[in-house]
């Protein structure tokens, strides 16, 4: 046995010992999932929390779990936990609103998502808001909830054209670049094309990277030349519309509906949208303060091409007046002298500039759009919600938002949409795998302490309404939504017509009301984290002239994340994505990294090339305190500033990049140290660990069309309460039992100390 192996085994034994002590306390009736979080520990100079010695005990906290406390709410969940219907006509339904509300209630629904009538007058219609108010009054009389939808069609932000039509300065814009190559002291120039709005700047670079000013007029950039080979770059501002989601979104508006799109980077543009839409609802609908959430739909930056196969004239990046000032404030240097790196380059400097550019974009979008809307909602008694665009692929997180999880954190009720009703399609690996979308969103919600209400817009475009007469189609839809909920979602806003489910509708709504009730009255506690390697993707994304995004470097990051996700699920483990902000805010204690009520023992690092130095230092401290940090596929070579690259490389010298293997999953499971035993037909049985009232709770999901029987056992003086969402029943058993899960169903196993 060599020294490294001996050291590893020693550490492993200590970790297992800590896990055993912790689990005993966890079950004893004197500890719960908050025990570690409630521990007050001394702080080191760097802000990390000192870990207690191995023999240290946690302060006692009484377990409050009781089946009696959950049984009524589980068996017959209230409207708060039940599916809501997406019905854009409900707000203008007038006298029929009372009958629609009664019908929804009889079908087991809990509410409706609606808006003013969609017509040419839209927000200016004389009866627009009085109709919405009357519809909400009917909903109140019947006892169902209501949400608002903030746009006519999608993407949100246009206010039916009103945001930009009289304010062209609010229209989304970007930068494009044109180049000419030269040699020696022969002058060259570039004329401004007719399809851009103005020249922003120009400069030349020689073969050594030295920069030279160019002469810029209203319609031309000229460079006099210099020794050797050189390149003249001209950067122009351009409206972002053609070929983007603003044009190709599929929403069939009338010819009176302008499709120019607002600039999400522009705080004033977003404020106008808020004033026109949110402000109008708040001023004219008395029930505004009772709205559960306000649904914004697929707002995004319009720099990338989407839903077309064309090769466009330009690669383009997002821009706004004042961007360079914000960049200078955040990163301490002038981006105006390095704009070429946003479009090209593989050097460390080029990658760093792109990373810093996208960090600035993420800050501006999250604050100017999502936080500004959220602040208005909070000030007026409600919460922001909705969903973003293309949440499935981390490359699109960068192109559409700079940093998707940073934006999700600002929503009052984080949300996602899913466009399939087929669990097989949902779990397929692809360029945009469905199974990742809710994982990113729900992970951000947990990190921000907002996991109590996480929404999914269910819109299964691959399943026709008429097919719901078939039991297999209903079962598949249930299986798909099971998987969405398993990722951390716990509320449904659905485009599925309730009537299309026929006699199955009440079973369906009861089932997910119960799943919602159990998950919203518990705390996720699976203890495996996966780092969100947004910095690596930010530095590698280069704008494209086509709708094809990404490259070998970004694709590798996505591949590792997706395959680790599938592998963990198949090995009966669950995880949560973890971003830089969480790591910075987290405390370290007893081998755990913890904040906002969740903690991690294991941190997986998927194909990480760039990581902020302070984040890496925190992870090293976490590992030194007994946590496990596992680098998969790659180890870091860069920080997020030029000054930090050398320090990151030095720290990473001792790291080893591992491959995705069965042995890796076995080690992860050992590190987590969960003593619950599962055997039998566990293929495609997924398991996530929660706690409810301080008692451990295991969520068992059968992702098979066929019935499966599994054996569940736990050594010691314990017993189980088993919650079945299909029937609403609660069964108490000993510490060893067989559980039969019908196809595409779930059950919850709560562990009690006898």
pLDDT tens digits, one per residue of 87-129: 999 999 999 999 999 999 999 999 999 999 998 899 999 999 9
Tell me yes or no: is domain 71-164+266-297+355-522 CATH 3.20.20.80: yes
Q: What is the pLDDT, as a whole number, of residue 77?
A: 98
Q: What is the pLDDT, as a whole number, of residue 42?
A: 29
Q: What is the pLDDT, as a whole number, of residue 259?
A: 74
Q: What is the pLDDT of residues 218-234, one digit of tens each?
A: 999 999 999 999 999 99
Mean pLDDT for the stretch of residues 661-671: 96
The answer to whether residues 204 and 181 touch, using CB atoms and an 8 Å cutoff, is no
With 90 as the cut, is the pLDDT of residue 146 above it?
yes
* Segments making up each domain of the chain, as ranges: 3-62+579-672, 71-164+266-297+355-522, 173-239, 677-753
DSSP 8-state secondary structure symbol assigned to residue 369 = I
Residue 3: partners with Cβ closer than 8 Å, 6 or more residues away: none
Mean pLDDT for the stretch of residues 488-510: 96
With 70 as the cut, is the pLDDT of residue 391 above it?
yes
Residue 325: partners with Cβ closer than 8 Å, 6 or more residues away: none
CATH code, 677-753: 2.60.40.1180
Residue 630 burial (CB count, 10 A): 21
Mean pLDDT for the stretch of residues 238-256: 82
**Roughly what angle, to the nearest 10 degrees, separates helices 552-570 and 662-672?**
60
Q: What is the pLDDT, as a whole number, of residue 62?
A: 61
> How many whole angstroms separate alpha carbon 743 and alpha carbon 477?
12
Residue pointed to by tokens 């990742």:
436
Q: What is the pLDDT, as a whole number, of residue 506?
A: 97
Q: 3-state DSSP call for residue 575?
A: coil
Extract the tokens encoding 268: 């004033």
In this predicted structure, which of 7-21, 361-375, 556-570 has the lowest mean pLDDT?
A: 7-21
The answer to whether residues 536 and 608 touch, using CB atoms and an 8 Å cutoff, is yes
Mean pLDDT for the stretch of residues 665-690: 95
Residue 54 burial (CB count, 10 A): 13
> How many whole angstroms separate alpha carbon 308 and alpha carbon 311?
9
> How many whole angstroms separate alpha carbon 334 and alpha carbon 713?
62
Residue pointed to by tokens 């919460």:
383
Label residue 465 by pLDDT band (50, 70, 90): low
> How many whole angstroms separate alpha carbon 682 and alpha carbon 615?
37
With 90 as the cut, is the pLDDT of residue 193 above it?
yes
> How many whole angstroms separate alpha carbon 717 and alpha carbon 692?
19
Query: Residue 426's closest CA among 478, 361, 503?
Result: 478
Residue pointed to by tokens 């949440």:
391
> How many whole angstroms separate alpha carbon 37 and alpha carbon 42?
13
3-state helix, strand, coil in the chain (%, to 5): 40, 25, 40
> How many whole angstroms separate alpha carbon 233 and alpha carbon 214?
9
Extract the tokens encoding 297: 């739909």
> How many whole angstroms separate alpha carbon 137 and alpha carbon 285?
10
Mean pLDDT for the stretch of residues 404-419: 98
Q: What is the pLDDT, as a whole number, of residue 251?
A: 77
With 70 as the cut, is the pLDDT of residue 281 above it?
yes
Q: What are phi and psi for residue 554, nearest 5 degrees?
A: -70, -35
Q: Report the mean per-residue pLDDT for the chain.
A: 91
The answer to whether residues 563 and 659 touch, using CB atoms and an 8 Å cutoff, is no
In this predicted structure, which of 450-464, 512-526, 553-567 has the lowest mean pLDDT?
A: 450-464
Label residue 58 by pLDDT band (50, 70, 90): very low
Label residue 252 by pLDDT band (50, 70, 90): low
> How many whole angstroms separate alpha carbon 397 and alpha carbon 534?
8
Residue 99: partners with Cβ closer than 8 Å, 6 or more residues away: none
Pairing state of beta strands 220-223 and 215-216?
antiparallel
Mean pLDDT for the stretch of residues 333-357: 98
Element holding 467 (H helix, E strand):
none
Mean pLDDT for the stretch of residues 644-653: 98
Extract the tokens encoding 679: 């055997």
Extract the tokens encoding 199: 């020249």
Residue 274: partners with Cβ closer than 8 Å, 6 or more residues away: 372, 373, 376
Label residue 536 by pLDDT band (50, 70, 90): very high
Q: 3-state DSSP call for residue 596?
A: coil
Pairing state of beta strands 592-595 and 598-600?
antiparallel
Q: What is the pLDDT of residues 619-630, one digit of tens each?
A: 999 999 999 999
Q: What is the pLDDT, as a whole number, of residue 258?
A: 59
Cis peptide before 155 (omega within 30 of 0): yes
Extract the tokens encoding 608: 């990480």
Residue 390: partners with Cβ closer than 8 Å, 6 or more residues away: 396, 400, 432
Region of 591 please: left (phi>0), alpha (psi -120 to 50) or beta: left
> How many whole angstroms separate alpha carbon 283 and alpha carbon 671?
55
Extract the tokens encoding 735: 């510490």
Query: Residue 530's closest CA among 485, 483, 583?
Result: 583
pTM of the model: 0.92
With 80 as the cut, is the pLDDT of residue 153 above it?
yes
> How many whole angstroms separate alpha carbon 706 and alpha carbon 693?
33
> How many whole angstroms separate alpha carbon 711 and alpha carbon 401?
45
Q: What is the pLDDT, as a whole number, of residue 255?
A: 53
Q: What is the pLDDT, as a whole number, of residue 467?
A: 78
> How many whole angstroms separate alpha carbon 720 and alpha carbon 541?
50
Q: What is the pLDDT of residues 469-489, one digit of tens each?
A: 889 999 999 999 999 999 999
């Amino acid at each position: 046995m060599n020294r490294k192996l001996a050291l590893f085994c020693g550490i492993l034994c200590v970790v297992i010992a800590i896990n055993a002590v912790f689990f005993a306390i966890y079950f004893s009736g004197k500890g719960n999932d908050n025990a570690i979080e409630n521990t007050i520990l001394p702080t080191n100079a760097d802000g990390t929390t000192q870990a207690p010695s191995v023999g240290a005990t946690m302060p006692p906290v009484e377990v409050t779990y009781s089946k009696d406390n959950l049984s009524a709410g589980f068996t017959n969940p209230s409207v708060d936990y039940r599916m809501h219907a997406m019905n854009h006509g409900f707000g203008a339904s007038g006298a029929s609103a009372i009958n629609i509300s009664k019908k929804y209630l009889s079908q087991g629904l809990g509410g409706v998502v609606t808006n003013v009538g969609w017509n040419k007058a839209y927000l200016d219609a004389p009866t627009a808001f009085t109709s919405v108010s009357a519809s909400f009054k009917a909903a109140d009389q019947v006892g169902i909830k209501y949400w608002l939808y903030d746009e006519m069609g999608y993407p949100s932000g246009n206010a039916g054209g009103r945001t930009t039509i009289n304010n062209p300065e609010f229209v989304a814009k970007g930068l494009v670049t044109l180049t000419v190559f030269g040699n020696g002291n022969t002058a060259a120039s570039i004329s401004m094309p007719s399809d851009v709005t103005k020249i922003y700047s120009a400069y030349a670079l020689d073969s050594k990277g030295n920069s030279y000013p160019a002469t810029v007029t209203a319609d031309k950039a000229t460079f006099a030349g210099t020794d050797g080979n050189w390149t003249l770059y001209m950067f122009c501002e351009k409206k972002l519309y053609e070929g983007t989601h603003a044009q190709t979104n599929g929403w069939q508006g009338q010819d009176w509906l302008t499709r120019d799109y607002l600039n999400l980077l522009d705080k004033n543009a977003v404020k106008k949208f808020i004033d026109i839409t949110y402000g109008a609802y708040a001023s004219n609908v008395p029930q505004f303060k009772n709205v559960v959430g306000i649904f914004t739909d697929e707002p995004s930056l319009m720099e990338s091409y989407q839903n077309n196969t064309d090769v466009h004239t330009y690669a383009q990046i997002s821009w706004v007046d004042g961007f360079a000032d914000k960049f200078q404030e955040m990163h301490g240097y002038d981006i105006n002298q390095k704009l070429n790196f946003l479009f090209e380059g593989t050097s460390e400097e080029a990658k760093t500039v792109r990373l810093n550019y996208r960090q600035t974009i993420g800050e501006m979008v999250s604050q100017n759009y999502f936080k500004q809307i959220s602040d208005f909602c909070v000030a007026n008694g409600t919460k922001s919600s909705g969903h973003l665009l293309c949440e499935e692929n981390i490359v699109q997180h960068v192109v559409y938002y700079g940093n998707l999880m940073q934006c999700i954190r600002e929503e009052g009720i984080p949300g996602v949409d899913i466009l399939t009703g087929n669990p097989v399609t949902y779990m397929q690996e692809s360029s945009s795998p469905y199974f990742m979308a809710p994982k990113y969103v729900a992970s951000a919600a947990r990190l921000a302490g907002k996991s109590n209400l996480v929404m999914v817009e269910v819109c299964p475009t691959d399943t026709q309404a008429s097919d719901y007469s078939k039991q297999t189609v209903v079962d598949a839809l249930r299986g798909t939504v099971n998987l969405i909920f398993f990722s951390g979602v716990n509320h449904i806003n659905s485009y599925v017509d309730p009537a299309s489910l026929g006699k199955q509708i009440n079973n369906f709504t009861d089932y997910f009301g119960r799943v919602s009730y159990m998950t919203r009255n518990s705390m996720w506690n699976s203890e495996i984290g996966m780092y969100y390697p947004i910095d690596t993707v930010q530095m590698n994304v280069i704008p494209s002239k086509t709708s094809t995004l990404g490259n070998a470097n970004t694709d590798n990051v996505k591949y590792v994340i997706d395959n680790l996700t599938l592998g963990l699920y198949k090995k009966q483990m669950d995880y949560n994505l973890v971003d830089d902000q969480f790591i910075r805010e987290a405390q370290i204690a007893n081998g755990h990294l913890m904040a906002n009520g969740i903690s991690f023992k294991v941190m997986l690092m998927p194909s990480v090339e760039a990581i902020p130095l302070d984040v890496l230092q925190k992870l090293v401290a976490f590992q030194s305190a007994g946590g496990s940090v596992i680098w998969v596929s790659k180890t870091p070579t860069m920080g997020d500033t030029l000054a930090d690259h050398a320090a990151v490389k030095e720290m990473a010298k001792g790291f080893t990049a591992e491959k995705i293997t069965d042995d890796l999953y076995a080690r992860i499971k050992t590190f987590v140290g969960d003593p619950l035993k599962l055997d039998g037909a566990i293929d495609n049985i997924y398991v996530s660990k929660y706690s409810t009232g301080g008692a451990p709770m295991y969520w068992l999901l059968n992702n098979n069309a066929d019935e499966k029987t599994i054996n569940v056992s736990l050594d010691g003086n314990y017993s189980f309460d088993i919650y079945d969402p299909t029937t609403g029943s609660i069964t108490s058993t000993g510490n060893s039992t067989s559980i039969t899960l019908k196809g595409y169903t779930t059950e919850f196993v709560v562990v009690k100390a006898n």
